[in-house]
Amino acid sequence: MERKTRIEKDSLGVMEVPISKYWGAQTQRSLSNFNIGNELVSLDLIKAVAAVKWAAASANEKCGKLDKKRANLIRTVSEEIISGKLNEHFPTHAYQAGSGTQTNMNVNEVIAHRANELARIHHFVHPNDHCNMSQSTNDVYPTAMNICALKLINKKLLPHINELIESLKKLEKKGEHIVKMGRTHIQDALPITFGEEVSGWRFSLENNVNMIKETEQYFYSINMGGTAVGTGFEAPKNYDKYCCDFLNKILKTNKFVVTKNKYHGTWSKDNFVYAHGAIKAMAANLFKIAQDVRFLASGPRSGFGEITIPANEPGSSIMPGKTNPTQCEGMAMICGQVMGHDTTISFLASQGNFELNTFGTVLMQNFIQSVTLFSDMIKSFNERCVSGIEINVDKMDYYVHHSLMLVTALAEHIGYEKSSEIAKYAYKNKLTLKQAAHKLKYIKDKDFNKFVNPNKMV
């Protein structure tokens, strides 16, 4: 019978591991000890750890601590992980020890096993002695968290939000000369162009992009070389600087620098609180925008009906022909989830004790979920809703010419009190403003026409 498992050993003893997998005893233990939920560690985070291993091996080689052959093997396997070739060998659950030890050791074990396979020498590369040389989970994992956050923000979130901004710019241009009623307190207010209304949406998201970008600088400061508690025990001289140099090389940037204080870099997660706060600010704006779109598209005959959004699917199992603003609802729900994640991240970041925060894995999972869910929802909201918005000009025009708040234009000519009386009289007697003004004889018809011009009020 073909053998299905092999024996792997760690400091606690031996474990049976599937023979086709590259992980070792510690990873296998984690599958039993942390069999929690269905969510696995994000492959983006795994690839970030692999980038750290690539840089650490190169730094150790430059410091004369690791021989060239082992360094090359570690780099080769790290590159395989980064390219996605070894995805099946990372089974650890997202909810695990708060420091991320299981994730770090999973990567160490896979690198070692695959490296030995390439070298055709049993036990030539050791997961701790070589793959984790001059390192601790406590500097590897925080650094990988930072790398992963930067990738998710720049490769997923910002591109999709910028695409949405471009769609809003087009809608803004389309509505730049279309006058409609503004609303405050959900009541009639002064006229505004639809383009001006959309410009507020667009500008708010541009602000959010700037806020998020501003937070990125705090992810480029890393604590590599701090090892277990920030002292740098067992890390050779200049190792930390070399790690940054090689991280910049593998990640094609020049921004990674050694943190000014490795103790803070080891235990603090304030950069995640700060960055996620900016993401939450965008959630607040997008929630508002989605609600605006939902209400403006309400109807089609019993609501505002000022815009029409794409009909993506039937909206009712009982009412034929009904369609619903499901993309707006989806966006609102995801924004609510992001706000919930923000509370979790803020709380967990506050729970660092002494030299380490032991809640990093759950904090990171919440951050990853926020950015991933948000990115996907923004893309969907743009493609299936915003980019297909049609303007109902006749409905906007109807509301403008039946609004009582146009009376504001008379206030500087006949005073606030008389203008208010005209509005109340028109409402009570179901008249237009012009008819009410004529009845009350507070202003001549020709002057009313001159002063009450919605196009001149925007």
Residues annotated as catalytic (active site), given as ranges? 185, 316
Sort residue 434 into left (φ over 0), alpha (ψ -120 to 50) or beta: alpha
Provide the residue type at 243 as one letter: C
356 secondary structure, DSSP code: B
- Alpha carbon 382 to its chain centroid, in Å, reads 15
Those residues with Cβ within 8 angstroms of residue 215's Cβ, 6 or more apart along the chain or in another chain: 271, 274, 275, 278
Q: How far apart are CA 153 and CA 151, in angstroms?
A: 5
**Of 214, 179, 215, the residue nearest 197 (C-alpha):** 179
**Of 50, 75, 78, the residue nearest 61 (C-alpha):** 75
- Residue 107 tokens, joined: 């990567």
Q: 158-178 in b/e burial notation, b at 16+ Cβ within 10 A?
A: bebbebbbebbeebbeebeeb
Query: Is 40 strand, coil or helix?
Result: strand
Provide the residue type at 147 as one letter: I
- Residue 169 tokens, joined: 């710019």
C-alpha torsion sign, points 142, 148, 151, 156: negative
Distance set, CA 213 to CA 153, 165, 195 (Å): 9, 16, 27
> SS3 string of 313-350?
CECCCCCCCCECCHHHHHHHHHHHHHHHHHHHHHHHHC
Alpha-carbon dihedral angle through residues 435, 439, 440, 441, given to the nearest 10 degrees? 90
